[in-house]
Amino acid sequence: MEWRGQGILLSVRKHGEHAAIIEVFTEAYGLHAGVVRGARSRKLAPVLQPGAQLDLSWRARLSDHLGAFTVEPVKSRAAQVMGDRAALAGLNAICGLLCFALAERDPHPDLYTQTHDLFDRLGQDPAWPLAYMFWELALLEELGFGLDLESCAVTGETQDLRYVSPKSGRAVSQKGAGEWADRLLPLPPSLRGLIGSNALDEVADGLKTTGHFLEAWVAPSLGNKPLPAARGRLLDVLHLAQGDR
């Protein structure tokens, strides 16, 4: 069995004295693992950094075997995030959540495209935290846990939507919330794609909502694994960054 294509490096772990097992996210083959021989050499160690875009060749005797990769660098993203604490935290959170949530070898081409774009924005586009918020929303959708933010779950109205039900994942209007408002999750306009001048200030509320469903819906479907610590570190860093504005 053999295939070739590009992928984004998500994780590297030592395997024996000189090799490593890497996990990559590819358009056609989804999350895919394999052994890289000589991974700790002076030639390959600088290439095998999370977030790197790689040209990959995978080969195994049988399709269900772990198999082995040969890799060639296409683009390193280390330099664009290394001097930016928030961007580095974002890169680690994306890698961690993909490894946490995706089933191996299950393709997600749309999510791959959005992930590729988000990685390229890190450290380059000041609005990347907003793109990250949309990425978490897309991840929920891709996993079958999409939110319904188009109309109020109580009244059916499409205006003045302010909240999200933590149980149903549906939007709730100010009127529909009533006395239950303090028990609902925030629904910032930007989470619905309504981008205003203060959209970046809404990221924390948006991630509070997506994070709830990652914990309440996705984690139980995966055996109640805890969310990657890297996501929590990203929230901490973004909170500090927002406080500086």
Question: What is the rounded average pLDDT of the residues 90-100?
Answer: 98
Number of domains in the chain: 2
- Could you tell me if residue 182 is inside a domain? no
Residue whose token pair is 């990652």: 214
Quick: pLDDT tens for 31-89: 999 999 999 999 999 999 999 999 999 999 998 899 999 999 999 999 999 889 999 99
Please check whether residues 22 and 65 belong to one and the same domain.
Answer: yes
Query: What span, in angstroms and rounded, lies between the C-alpha atoms of 152 and 164?
Result: 9
Nearest to residue 156, comparing CAs of 180, 172, 169?
172
CB atoms within 10 A of CB 23: 21
Confidence class for position 245, pLDDT limits 50, 70, 90: very low
Q: What is the CATH number of the domain that holds 91?
A: 1.20.1440
Quick: pLDDT tens for 26-40: 999 999 999 999 999
Supply the range of the domain harboring residue 59.
Answer: 2-76
- Could you tell me if residue 159 is inside a domain? no
Please check whether residues 6 and 64 belong to one and the same domain.
Answer: yes
Rounded to two decimals, the pTM is: 0.94
- Could you tell me if residue 210 is inside a domain? yes
CB atoms within 10 A of CB 116: 16
SS (H, E, C) 113-142: HHHHHHHHHCCCCCCHHHHHHHHHHHHHHH
Q: If you ran DSSP here, which 8-state letter would residue 179 be given?
A: G
Please check whether residues 20 and 139 belong to one and the same domain.
Answer: no
Q: Which of 76, 106, 123 is the last residue of a domain?
A: 76
- Could you tell me if residue 204 is inside a domain? yes
Confidence class for position 196, pLDDT limits 50, 70, 90: confident
- Could you tell me if residue 180 is inside a domain? no
Please check whether residues 53 and 71 belong to one and the same domain.
Answer: yes
Q: Which of 76, 103, 118 is the last residue of a domain?
A: 76
Please check whether residues 85 and 204 belong to one and the same domain.
Answer: yes
Given strand 171-173, what is the order of strands in its sheet? 171-173, 161-164, 185-186
pLDDT at 244 over 70: no
Quick: pLDDT tens for 179-193: 999 999 999 999 999
Give me the chain's average pLDDT, please.
95
